[in-house]
Amino acid sequence: DGGITQSPKYLFRKEGQNVTLSCEQNLNHDAMYWYRQDPGQGLRLIYYSQIVNDFQKGDIAEGYSVSREKKESFPLTVTSAQKNPTAFYLCASSYVLSYNSPLHFGNGTRLTVT
Amino acid sequence: AQKITQTQPGMFVQEKEAVTLDCTYDTSDQSYGLFWYKQPSSGEMIFLIYQGSYDEQNATEGRYSLNFQKARKSANLVISASQLGDSAMYFCAMREANAGNNRKLIWGLGTSLAVNP
């Protein structure tokens, strides 16, 4: 079955450590996205990528970095510069970057930094 | 200004009854897409239904239908014959065709639906 796989489901880190969240898709989608979800705030866009080797900042990119070396993969690194990294992170993909192209999401990674 | 408004923080419905979840939106674009997603307590975000701004018919997907009233800028989700498994958060979202905005979904804050047996 096609889908988006995020791993791990839960992640615990100490302050000051960088951590990388994995996202893989086998839907053959061109566009991929990372969102952050905090209670009561809805989803906020961190980074997105329209094609391989290209990515753009979203609304809250500070303290995060991404890469898109393969069409299937879009890992997110949460750096020590991110002030409030504890959150639920959702990766998504869409066929193309277009207003009528639905996003399909992975199961999410819950990151806790202490 | 809020672009997507979901006015019902929480809703209850009896099993097997229909329920309507409200969503109003604000945009000056002529071309846009409206989406509904379901998020169970496990966390995954499940795409339910899509309505394009030029679509003349209301979208339907199984037990889900979208009551699209363009002049009112309203895109309500109707779930028919509710099931216990429908208990979840439901999010309305919009994506505008404007080149500066088409990269992202604009989200409402969600409605928590509880289905009672």
| Tens of pLDDT, residues A34-55 | 999 998 778 999 999 999 999 9
B103 touches chain A (CB under 8 A): yes
B10 touches chain A (CB under 8 A): no
pLDDT at B101: 59
DSSP string, B14-50: ETTS-EEE--EE----SSEEEEEEEE-TT---EEEEE
If you measure CA to CA, which chain A residue comes closest to B30? A99
d(CA B51, CA A76): 30
Per-residue model confidence (pLDDT) at position A41: 78
| Mean pLDDT (whole number) for A64-76 | 97
Is A88 a residue whose pLDDT tops 90? yes
B5-32 confidence digits (pLDDT tens): 999 999 999 999 999 999 999 998 899 9
pLDDT tens digits, one per residue of B43-90: 999 999 999 999 999 999 999 999 999 999 999 999 999 999 999 999
Locate the chain A residue with the closest alpha carbon to B55: A100
Residue B90, chain A, CB below 8 Å: the answer is no
Q: Residue B44's beta-bridge partner residues?
A: none
